[in-house]
Amino acid sequence: MEENSCLRQAKCRAKGGAAGFKVAILGAAGGIGQPLAMLMKINPLVSVLHLYDVVNTPGVTADISHMDTGAVVRGFLGQPQLENALTGMDLVIIPAGVPRKPGMTRDDLFNINAGIVRTLCEGIAKCCPNAIVNLISNPVNSTVPIAAEVFKKAGTYDPKKLLGVTMLDVVRANTFVAEVLGLDPRDVDVPVVGGHAGVTILPLLSQVKPPCSFTQEEAEYLTNRIQNGGTEVVEAKAGAGSATLSMAYAAVEFADACLRGLRGDAGVVECAFVASQVTELPFFASKVRLGRQGAEEIFQLGPLNEYERIGLEKAKKELAGSIQKGISFSKK
């Protein structure tokens, strides 16, 4: 039977092919971390994979290290091993922190996750200040500003290299829009801008590719479903956490785009929550072009219809408070 090309390339590289990148996952033993680690192990662009968590990394590392793909896997357990986990990394992916239970908002995670993200980013500033950071831990609208403040304080802040991961919103939007249009989701591209919580998640349905149109009823249904996709999973899991498998898939798609950018590929464009001048807010999610320096170009929103303009105002109002909350936490 023919092997899939991803696996085959990874194996080829193990036999002496092109050098790859060094990637660390912080929170690697968690619900997202484990499938994310598995998928990064089969990514042919990865040569070294560091798995860090405060629990269970020896088991996860032993397990994943038996996969016959090119990346060399090493495990790191607990705060004393954080620096070794981070030293020399090109890309650091952070899914560390607690997930929601039914009835909670992402902001309810702030008190625990803010401190976790701060500590991990202090390690990054010290050990791999030039790495690209993909921040998944919620509330992303606040954790990205926290990370920025940590890096500023350390004198290492490069706004192009700090990326809040909003890819799952795009993945969901592509899926739900494809369902309505009767298309294959792989052929659909929906820009999702703003942030990563409730009304801050703003799908631009007027800019869907391939070009199409929606009734107002369809636009409202799709916008609501995309904005509440996370809650849909939290409720279905009924106390056992939030999205992990679709998130790992989305995180790998995004990380792979960052690595292709680092390699120098042209035209790598994805949505991410970044330092931005697209609106009056200091951070905003929009399409960015990924290159050797990270988010090298941030695209404007393009023409919006009336429904999207109203959505944008709501999104900005909530985002402003979440961003400020992150900045204030870091300045305390």
**Out of 48, 96, 114, 275, which residue is the one contacting ligand NAD (CB under 6 A)?**
96
Distance CA 130, CA 72 (A): 21
Three-point CA angle 122, 257, 8, nearest 5°: 115
Q: Are 302 and 314 in contact (CB under 8 A)?
A: no
Q: Looking at 70, 75, 95, 311, which residue binds ligand NAD (CB under 6 A)?
A: 95
- The annotation status of 124 as a binding-site residue, yes or no, is no
Describe the crossing of helices 216-227 and 229-237 by its angle, rounded to 10 degrees: 50
Nearer to ligand NAD, 52 or 214 (CB): 52
Q: Which residues are catalytic?
A: 196
Q: Between 24 and 222, whose beta carbon lies closer to ligand NAD?
A: 24
Sort 213 into a burial class: Cβ within 10 Å, 0-12 / 13-18 / 19+. Answer: exposed
Candidate segments 13-21, 96-104, 184-192, 316-324, binder of ligand NAD by CB under 6 A: 96-104
Could you say which of ligand NAD, ligand LMR, none residue 9 binds, taking C-beta under 5 to 8 angstroms by partner kind?
none
234, interface contact from ligand NAD, ligand LMR, none, CB < 5-8 Å by kind: ligand LMR
Rounded to 5 degrees, φ, ψ at 302 are 80, 180
Work out whether 109 is an interface residue with ligand NAD (CB under 6 A): yes
How many angstroms separate the CA atoms of 226 and 140, rounded?
A: 16
HSE, side-chain direction, 13 A CA sphere, residue 256 = 16
- Torsion sign (Cα): 193, 256, 282, 246: positive
Cβ proximity to ligand LMR: between 123 and 229 the closer is 229
CB 203 within 8 A of CB 169: yes
Tokens at residue 237, please? 């899991």
Instruction: Find the binder of ligand NAD among 9, 242, 279, 330 (CB under 6 A).
Output: 242
In the stretch 177-216, what mask flags binding to ligand NAD with x, by CB under 6 A?
-------------------x--------------------
Count of Cβ atoms closer than 10 Å to residue 318 Cβ: 17
Check binding of 326 to ligand NAD (CB under 6 A).
no
137 makes contact with ligand LMR (CB under 6 A): no
ω before 80 within 30° of 0 (cis)? no
Using the CB atoms, write b or e for 34-59: b if 16+ within 10 Å: bbbbbbbbbbbbbbbbbbbbeebbee
Specify the residue for token string 């968590």: 53
Asked whether position 100 contacts ligand LMR by CB under 6 A, the answer is: yes
CB closer to ligand LMR out of 77 and 234: 234
Residue 27 marked as a ligand binder: yes
Site string for ligand NAD, 112-151 (x = CB under 6 A): -x--x--xx---------------xxx-x-----------
Choose which of 233, 255, 268, 323 interacts with ligand LMR (CB under 6 A). 233
Task: Between 20 and 194, name the residue whose CB sits nearer to ligand NAD.
Answer: 194
Residue selected from 24, 25, 29, 252 as contacting ligand NAD according to rule CB under 6 A: 29
Cis-peptide into 95, omega within 30 deg: no
Annotated binding site: 27-33, 53, 100, 106, 113, 136-138, 172, 247
Binding-site residue ranges for substrate: 100, 106, 138, 172
Q: Write out the residues near ligand LMR by the rule CB under 6 A.
A: 99-100, 106, 138, 168, 229-230, 233-234, 242-243
